Every structure is written in C-alpha cells, then in structure tokens.
Amino acid sequence: NAGVMQNPRHLVRRRGQEARLRCSPMKGHSHVYWYRQLPEEGLKFMVYLQKENIIDESGMPKERFSAEFPKEGPSILRIQQVVRGDSAAYFCASSPKWGYQETQYFGPGTRLLVL
Amino acid sequence: QQQVKQSPQSLIVQKGGISIINCAYENTAFDYFPWYQQFPGKGPALLIAIRPDVSEKKEGRFTISFNKSAKQFSLHIMDSQPGDSATYFCAASIGETSGSRLTFGEGTQLTVNP
C-alpha cells in the first residue's frame, strides 16, 4: 500500500509565475490536509478537503492560494503569482475518514523555491 | 488561543541518555496530542499520541507524560540512539469539530551523539 504521494518533490518558480502542487492520498483515504512549513518553523494548517468539497480553508491566505480535490485525480494546491515569501515546504496529509483523532499520514512534501 | 509552545528549540544528548521535549497549550478544547518525528527531506511521521483522559502513555522507548491541569505534555525518549536524531514536533487537535486538523509546535531538533 503506497503512502501519500506528492509531486513534484522540488519546484523552482520565478516571481509572478504559478505553482501547482499535487497530492495523491493513500489508497482508501478520502480526506486531505495541506500544511506549510516555513524554514526553521513548525507546520501550519492551510486547508482540509474531502472529494469535491473544501471543508475548512481557514488557514489559507486570502489571495493567490486555492485548493481542490476532484472526484478523480489528485488534490491540487495552486499558488498564483508566487512571491519569495511563498518559498517553503508544502506537505499533504491524508486520513481514511473524518473522525475523532484519525491519524494523518504525511507525504514527503514539495519544496518550493521562488527566485 | 490555538498555539502550542514547544521547548527546547534544540537538544543534544549522549547515546543512552534521556531526551525530554516539552509542550504547553492554551486552548482547553484540545483533546488529542500526537508527537511527530521528521527526518531531513521527509514528511512528519506519527510517533506516539495521547488523549487527556490518561496521564502517561508508553510505547517502547517513547513515553508521553500529560498534565491536564498545567496544560502541558512532554515526550521522553529513553536510551536515546543516534538514529533518533531528527526534528520532533508536538501537536494538538480538537477532534470532534475541526476534522482533526493539527496545530503544531515549533519543533525540537534532537541530536544524539554516539
């Protein structure tokens, strides 16, 4: 059973470009979380999604960031018009269902560098 | 307050020693407290977790101690090994209402010297 897959593992973008980060949850998992880890900091919650639904996006910046988890295919975190402050590691986690203290399994992350 | 405060920021321990990492929280609604281990270039991996209805949980060399009245919890790594060298994050969540989204501490970089 493959773990959470994220790609690309490393992404370099110039200021103003778009970044698309993909996350394929573990088989059988229908809940996806995105977290951002700035250098030398802990992980910060961004958004929680189920298939075709955004459940909680309270951690998402109000502009330029969006996320989706379509019926088919991976979850996508999209950052438009990237700025240097977006440079960070972005982690996706999945769980089998919403529930009391469901374990979240993390992917290896995408390291975004904005030049 | 949704913050979780973690200390120390870094820790150096000799092989065979005890590593202790502490966390404190403000929000009394938190009801699930996991610890994650992260190696460089990898994603966090769940190490051990505790609920506030118990004061201690032990799994192998790893023990969580929980003090509900003080709103503090700690991770103890007994007989620390060089392979334990990693960054450790405490976290907390409100399981019932937020879909278990995790609030993380700032992390502790543990180095175990041979």
pLDDT of chain A along its 115 residues, tens only?
579 999 999 999 999 999 999 999 998 888 899 999 988 788 999 999 998 999 899 999 989 999 999 999 999 999 999 999 999 999 999 987 655 556 888 999 999 999 9
Helix and strand totals (H; E) in chain A: 0, 11
Cβ atoms < 10 Å from Cβ of B66: 19
Q: Which residue, chain included where needed, has tokens 């778009």?
A: A18
* Alpha-helix runs per DSSP H in chain A: none
Chain B neighbors of A44, CB-CB under 8 A: 104
Cα separation, A79 vs A60, whole angstroms: 11
Half-sphere exposure of A75 (CA within 13 A, CB side): 31
pLDDT attached to residue B95: 67
| CB A66, CB A14: distance < 8 Å | no
Q: Does any CB of chain A come closer than 8 Å to the CB of residue B106?
A: yes
Q: With CB atoms and an 8 Å threshold, state whether A106 touches B44.
A: yes
Q: Is A2 left (phi over 0), alpha (psi -120 to 50) or beta?
A: beta
| CB A113, CB A8: distance < 8 Å | no
Q: With CB atoms and an 8 Å threshold, state whether B43 touches A4.
A: yes
Close Cβ partners of A79 (under 8 Å, ≥ 6 residues apart): A18, A19, A20, A21, A64, A65, A86, A112
What is the full per-residue pLDDT of chain B (114 aa) written as tens digits? 568 999 999 999 999 999 999 999 999 988 889 999 999 989 999 999 998 888 999 999 999 999 999 999 999 999 999 999 999 999 998 865 445 788 999 999 999 999
Cα separation, A45 vs A48, whole angstroms: 8
Question: Which of B43, B93, B105 lies closest to A108 in CB terms?
Answer: B43
